[in-house]
Amino acid sequence: MLKVLIMVSGGGTNLQAIIDGVASGKITNTELVGVISNNQGAYALERAKVAGIPAKVVSPKDYENRDLFNEALLAAVQSFEPDLIVLAGFLVVIPEIMIDAYENRIINIHPSLIPSFCGTGYYGLKVHEAALARGVKVTGATVHYVDKGTDTGPIIMQKAVSVQENDTPKTLQQRVMEEAEWQLLPAAISMIANQQTMD
């Protein structure tokens, strides 16, 4: 069984898709061992609680400087002994010490077709605002491995989603989630879990 830790910052709809995927058998060979949030108010924490998954909050506000926060974040991650770390709307830059400790074992979901609308400053609704401002007709989502750059790691899966004439950033965000993100992330986790078993 692949031991998966999920890191979140907000609403946690991607976390929910993972929880539901394990419950329905769409994701196999996977145990959800924990959830970490940088934000005490994240609704994702409620979702973890309802699903009976242990959760920890590590907030930068509770640390004097970034190095101390990064060390605490790594310690929290290590406490769950994960095989795979899934960034499911985790809007904190992953510290280098964590990338070194978990090389090729961290994946992220990004709400665009990388390399479009990604990198520093592109997160959440901002990604969809930028896609609409540029006038693209197709956008989507990407699951990729996390390396030391921002959204630069190897791509695992992508799915395209059509932009509609009257889309707002919010309607586009919702469609990208429904049609791409909530399917891609569970599929990527299950693929990795089963690759590992077959090795």
Task: Give CA–CA dist 3/198, Å, rounded.
Answer: 16
**Length of the chain counted residue by residue:** 199
Residue 21 binds ligand GAR (CB under 6 A): no
Amino acid occupying residue 72: A
Closest CB to ligand GAR among residues 13, 30: 13
The correct pick among 27, 110, 130, 189 for binding ligand GAR (CB under 6 A) is 110
Scanning the chain, the segments in alpha helix (DSSP H) are 13-24, 43-51, 66-79, 96-101, 125-134, 169-176, 182-198
Q: Which residues inside 117-136 make contact with ligand GAR, applying CB under 6 A?
A: 123-124, 127
Q: Among residues 39, 34, 29, which one has the least CA distance to residue 80?
A: 34
Task: Give CA–CA dist 141/13, Å, rounded.
Answer: 14
Query: 26 with 186: CB under 8 angstroms?
Result: yes
The correct pick among 4, 5, 12, 144 for binding ligand GAR (CB under 6 A) is 12
Letters for 32-71 (x = contact with ligand GAR by CB under 6 A, - = none) are: ------------x---------------------------
Question: Closest approach of Cβ 45 to ligand GAR, in Å?
Answer: 11
Query: 164 with 151: CB under 8 angstroms?
Result: no
C-alpha distances in angstroms, 76 versus 79, 96, 155? 5, 15, 27
The correct pick among 73, 109, 143, 192 for binding ligand GAR (CB under 6 A) is 109
Residue 11 binds ligand GAR (CB under 6 A): yes
Counting residues that bind ligand GAR (by CB under 6 A) gives 17
Catalytic residue list contains 144 = no
Catalytic residue among 36, 80, 106, 110: 110
User: Mind telling me the catalytic residues?
Assistant: 110
Q: Which residues lie near ligand GAR (CB under 6 A)? A: 8, 10-14, 44, 88-89, 109-111, 123-124, 127, 177, 181
